[in-house]
């Protein structure tokens, strides 16, 4: 069994980006700049955005963090997005989700200029991904592709079962794994909360990618010998022995499932660290005009 080390892979990718940024600076080019909008004080969102800002500092990007209270109006938020769309110094920006209930999330995401949509959530980028055109891929699926590539995991002709159909992970992952590319060329089954007898499908899988946020969902009897298991789930569960009072658990019963696997991601330290690395990669691509010219 080989552990898919997302932390190490993320560090490698960020160093590659940092080296490229250093070359850009040395040649007098424009330093990539990422902006982030954070609404409210959700602990997970604050930590995630702060980590993005720190990543920008490490690799030499410019960054701007824009914070609002959760009482901000939709109009105020849309006005700021329009401003960022028009700011030539900002190459890409994100609006951290989730947003307060009084704000229409879809309306906000659709107001972002697709050329600056480094989260890859705008319908234009989603459509381009489906059509096989250059686009910004959502960070988590892009990170999974990097893991598969860098560990040289065979995907051609393999049966890949994706568990979870969110627009952020499951749906795009199923599309990307079926693409005529590497990683890809897999036969894909997409399962979700209404799938009857989930184990029937996962037992057939050469590759399982699960992203539903249900701790311990995937048990040993649901996994065949030699399978590749990629666990995107990160759920906080109470743990009095930890200083924070909780620990992170994935969708996979790791200790029980790992011995059956050829490759498996841990939680934490698997897919999670790669999301920020891939956001940085999208921002670099935006600065270089690789997707839209």
* Residue 96 annotated as catalytic: yes
For the sheet containing 62-68, what is the strand order?
62-68, 33-39, 92-95
Q: Which DSSP letter does residue 97 get?
A: S
> Which residues, listed in sequence order, are joined to residue 88 by a DSSP beta bridge?
none
- Residue 119 is among the residues annotated as catalytic for this protein: yes
Question: Radius of gyration over alpha carbons of the chain, in Å?
Answer: 19
CA distance 252 to 220: 9
Active site residue 15: no
β-partners of residue 241 are none
**Phi and psi of 216, rounded to 5°?**
70, 15
Nearest residue to 198 via CA among 166, 170, 164: 164
C-alpha distances (whole Å) from 106 to each of 74, 109, 112, 122, 123 are: 12, 5, 10, 9, 10
- 233 Cβ neighbours under 8 A, 6+ residues apart: 210, 211, 212, 213, 214, 215, 217, 249, 250, 251, 252, 267
CA-to-CA separations, 4 to 182, 217, 262, 271, 280, in angstroms, rounded: 18, 20, 10, 9, 21
Count of residues in the chain: 293
Q: Which is catalytic among the residues 117, 119, 206, 251?
A: 119
| Contact (CB, 8 A) for 93 and 82 | no
Q: Residue 63: enclosing H or E segment and its boundaries? A: strand 62-68
Catalytically annotated residue among 5, 14, 91, 96: 96
Q: Which of 5, 14, 52, 231 is catalytic?
A: 52
The residues that are catalytic are 52, 96, 119
């Amino acid at each position: 069994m080989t552990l898919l080390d997302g932390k190490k892979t993320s560090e490698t990718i960020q160093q590659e980006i940092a080296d490229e940024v250093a070359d850009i600076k040395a040649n007098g080019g424009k330093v990539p700049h990422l902006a982030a909008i954070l609404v409210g004080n959700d602990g997970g969102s604050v930590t995630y955005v702060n980590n993005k800002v720190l990543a920008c500092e490490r690799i030499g990007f410019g960054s701007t963090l824009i914070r609002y209270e959760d009482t901000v109006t939709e109009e105020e938020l849309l006005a700021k997005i329009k401003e960022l769309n028009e700011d030539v110094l900002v190459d890409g920006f994100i609006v951290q989700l989730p947003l307060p209930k009084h704000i229409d999330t879809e309306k906000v995401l659709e107001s972002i200029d697709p050329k600056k949509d480094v989260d890859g959530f705008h319908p234009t980028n989603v459509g381009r991904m489906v059509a096989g055109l250059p686009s910004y891929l959502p960070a988590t699926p892009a990170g999974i592709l990097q893991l598969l590539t860098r560990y040289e995991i065979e995907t051609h002709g393999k049966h890949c079962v994706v568990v979870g159909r969110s627009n952020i992970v499951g749906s795009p992952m199923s599309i990307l794994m079926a693409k005529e590319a590497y990683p890809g060329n897999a036969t894909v089954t997409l399962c979700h909360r209404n799938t009857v007898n989930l184990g029937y499908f996962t037992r057939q899988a050469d590759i399982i990618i699960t992203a539903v946020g249900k701790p311990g969902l995937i048990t040993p009897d649901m996994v065949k010998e030699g399978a590749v298991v990629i666990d995107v789930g990160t759920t906080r569960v109470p743990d009095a022995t930890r200083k924070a009072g909780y620990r992170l658990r994935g969708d996979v019963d790791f200790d029980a499932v790992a011995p059956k696997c050829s490759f498996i991601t841990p939680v934490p330290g698997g897919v999670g660290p790669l999301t920020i690395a891939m956001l940085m990669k999208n921002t670099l691509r935006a600065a270089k005009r690789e997707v839209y010219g």
